[in-house]
Amino acid sequence: MTTRNVGQPFVRRDGRAKVTGEARYSYEVAVPDAVYGVLVTSGIAKGRIVEIDTSAAEREAGVLAVISHKNALRLPGEPHLEGPDRVVQALQDDRIRYSNQPIAVAVADTFERAVHAAMLVRVNAEVAAHTVRVEDELHNAFPHKIMAGGKLQEPDESHGDVAAGLVAGAARVEEAYETPFETHNPLEPHATVASWSGDRLTVYDASQWVFAVKKKLAKGFGIPPENVRVVTKFVGGAFGCKGSAWSHVVIAALAAKQVARPVKLALSRHQMFGPVGGRPRTRQKVAVAAQRDGKLTAIRHETVSPTSRFDVFVEASALQARHLYASPNIESRHRIVRLDIGTPTFMRAPGESSGSFALESAMDELAHRLEMDPLALRLASYAEKDPADGKPFSSKSLRACYQEGARRFGWEKRPRTPRSQTRSGQFVGMGMATAMYPANFAPAQALARMLPDGSAQVESGTIDLGTGAYTVFAQIAADELGLPFEKVRFDLGDSDMPEAPIAAGSMTAASVGSAVLVASRALRDRLIRTAIVDSASPLHGLAPIEIRAEDGRLVATSGKSDSYVELIRRAGGKPIEERGKTAPGDEREKFSMHGFGAHFAEVLVDPDLGTVHVSRMVGVFATGRILNARTARSQFLGGMVWGIGMALHEHSVFDEKLGRIMTRDLSDYHVAVNADVGSIEPLFLEEEDAHVDPAGVKGAGELGLCGAAAAIANAVFNATGKRIRELPITPDKLL
């Protein structure tokens, strides 16, 4: 394909709408006659509602209804779907399964009245003993298949003899690592606007996947899927929590049906902690051993993470150990325990981010024990083929990432001994870590339409989470159709459009991008055929192979050409469209497909206060084709800053007695703020990967976070000589 548009750093298409305030997020869509729903959530973690008194709330002016399990419409179906979907609590029974579970919804004519009514609801509950501590359930830990990258993977895998490998090494590290509960906290809270017309339902939802919302609601309400339309034009961040329709989405639709008015329902910031997932805590054990020369003799990575009592989510922290380093003996093991919590879910780089903290910390410890440069240790066990199954990588430029990163960062200036360098009274440390994330790809469809004015309209029901989907897919289509970027409009976010997979797992660019490419190519070929059979076309009778698309025209090798405008006019003046779809093929079986990268971090640690400041980060990433360096940079920069948050701040702290998260707002749940950010430089080594997917991309959303927290933790060790194996690295742990 000609690449005049792909690879250009075009400015985000939706930028103007976002800077003017015109972009309407789900809650902001103007729906006439809408009323407001506010959830009542449980204060206890486990039990049964004995009595729920809504009378005071119902007496208030403007209150239309207070709906609890007592008077909620019985859903004809169970809304739960196969695949990465979460079980919901939609006011169907008296059970309380976790703290902050929705137990009622107040509906009123203004938002404030609904809030007030929700506060007047009195609940009398029978409290049961709960468990929210992983330690208390370890004896019941069990393996479960892992849903990752759109397929089910085995919880345990091993090859070789790890026990023998561990003793065969010249040095060995066996340590336990921990990562805490985290909460996604996109800046836009979850929000749903539901509106019925007879048995047809229209929903504006802050969602990463309109098709799953549609199917789930259709299933729950017992109506045909085609009766449900879900629209998501703008999402104010998601990071995984908007990947499945949680309880409030079903409740919004239920309330709208019961009050026979459209209902707008947003979660409060408090309600973001518990009922809409989060990254589960992990307790990991890593054992690695290596010969003097750094060649790994064994890797063992085990992890335990909690899920809820009623649903399964496995934080797949040990998956990357299977594919990352060459070693004759590798073992990985996942266990989960059930707790009385809301179901955790995918959170940006699920598994890879938490797991890389443990594995890459252990590698750093091993390098220290071997008195070896941590980068040299990684190079000594560089995997030329996938250690899990011996498959070749579809592309892998990790070595170049290490080299380029080390050069840019000035890795050779790393203090050899920990706690040996200071700068204006602060300890200076440098650390590095490897980044790896699978190149996921899922079936996707798109439609491309040539309009009589010679511009194209392309669409697919995917979502732009701020990733750049509106922009990059127009770039891909423009190249295939031989149009300038400005002449292609790409639209998304509507379940009436061709079906797209969940906008998650860093697979949107690959999946939807490929579908857009295929649809646009099909449209171009159709236009070429139309010209060839048209006796009035200058291209009449030529062979398709002689014709290419360029500047809004079909051009023959001879120089003869026909414009899209003329072509369509002669063909009757109606738009011409084609659909395209893609799905993973055999290549997926033949190759191992991952994006790779290397992080380098410099930290300053205050010896008196124990505070850590990440002064510098360099990340070099090889993730296939870079469609748009401007939007890709933003993804990686954001990912790396998430690494700072993960390393130093983020922690959903549970009160174990009450069974609830105590850090339930943004002043207690700390995300990285602007003062945390020093110099951060992401850069790319672009790869030509002919196997990974038709668009040649491996994904950008998550790789930047993988390994980032480990690089920072390793830098903290280099600065202070203290190895912190439990995130976040807060001052108390360093003093």
Partner 1 sequence: MDLVPLTTPSREKLRLAFTVNGEPRDLVVESYKTLLEVLREDLGLTGTKHGCELGECGACAVILDGELVLSCLVAAVECPGRSATTVEGLRQGPELHPLQQCFADHGAAQCGYCTPGMLVAAKWLLDRNPRATRGEIAEALSGQICRCTGYLQIFDAVEAAGRTLRGEPAPAPLLPSVHRGSTNGR
Residues designated as active site: 702
Contacted by 344, from ligand FES, partner 1, none: CB < 5 to 8 Å by type: none
CB of 17 to partner 1, least distance (A): 8
DSSP one-letter string for 393-405: BS---HHHHHHHH
For ligand FES, the binding residues in 593-622 under the rule CB under 6 A are none
Distance CA 153, CA 389 (A): 14
First-residue to last-residue Cα distance in the chain: 58
Distance CA 31, CA 17 (A): 20
H or E element that contains 369: helix 352-370
Binding status of residue 466 toward ligand FES by CB under 6 A: yes
Closer residue to partner 1 in complex, CB, 564/669: 669
Distance CA 433, CA 325 (A): 13
Amino acid identity for residue 90 in this structure? A
Peptide bond into 186 cis (omega under 30): no
Closer residue to ligand FES in complex, CB, 187/673: 187
Tokens coding 540 = 């009449």
CB of 191 to partner 1, least distance (A): 9
State the Cα torsion 229-230-232-237 to the nearest 10°. -170
Report the residue from 61, 163, 164, 187 that binds ligand FES according to the rule CB under 6 A.
187
CB of 504 to ligand FES, least distance (A): 16
Neighbour tally for 142: CB within 10 Å: 11
CA dist 248 → 190, 206, 208, 392 (Å): 9, 11, 15, 45
CB of 104 to partner 1, least distance (A): 20
Q: Report the b/e string of 662-680 with b at 16+ CB within 10 A.
A: ebbeeeebbbbeeebeeeb
Binding status of residue 11 toward ligand FES by CB under 6 A: no
Closer residue to ligand FES in complex, CB, 591/669: 669
Tokens coding 231 = 């629209």
Report the residue from 7, 62, 225, 237 that binds ligand FES according to the rule CB under 6 A.
237
For residue 39, give the nearest of 245, 206, 190, 182 by alpha carbon: 190
Q: Is 694 helix (H, G, I), strand (E, B) or coil?
A: coil
Contacted by 684, from partner 1, ligand FES, none: CB < 5 to 8 Å by type: partner 1
CB of 311 to ligand FES, least distance (A): 28
Q: Is 185 helix (H, G, I), strand (E, B) or coil?
A: coil
Closer residue to ligand FES in complex, CB, 25/485: 25
Q: Is 495 helix (H, G, I), strand (E, B) or coil?
A: coil
Say how many residues touch ligand FES, by CB under 6 A.
3
Closer residue to partner 1 in complex, CB, 219/242: 242
Closer residue to partner 1 in complex, CB, 429/682: 682
Q: Could you give the residue ranges of the DSSP H alpha helices within 482-545? A: 508-533
Binding status of residue 19 toward ligand FES by CB under 6 A: no
Closer residue to ligand FES in complex, CB, 188/373: 188
Distance CA 173, CA 505 (A): 31
Neighbour tally for 59: CB within 10 Å: 10
Contacted by 27, from ligand FES, partner 1, none: CB < 5 to 8 Å by type: partner 1
Contacted by 19, from partner 1, ligand FES, none: CB < 5 to 8 Å by type: partner 1
CB of 636 to ligand FES, least distance (A): 14
Binding status of residue 15 toward ligand FES by CB under 6 A: no
CB of 3 to partner 1, least distance (A): 10
Nearest to ligand FES by Cβ — which residue? 187
CB of 688 to partner 1, least distance (A): 5
CA dist 82 → 147, 152, 207, 258, 311 (Å): 11, 12, 18, 28, 12
Contacted by 675, from partner 1, ligand FES, none: CB < 5 to 8 Å by type: partner 1
Q: Among positive and negative, which fits the CA dihedral 128, 133, 136, 140?
A: positive
Closer residue to partner 1 in complex, CB, 157/681: 681
Contacted by 535, from ligand FES, partner 1, none: CB < 5 to 8 Å by type: none
H or E element that contains 301: strand 296-308
Neighbour tally for 83: CB within 10 Å: 11
Binding site for ligand FES (CB under 6 A): 187, 237, 466
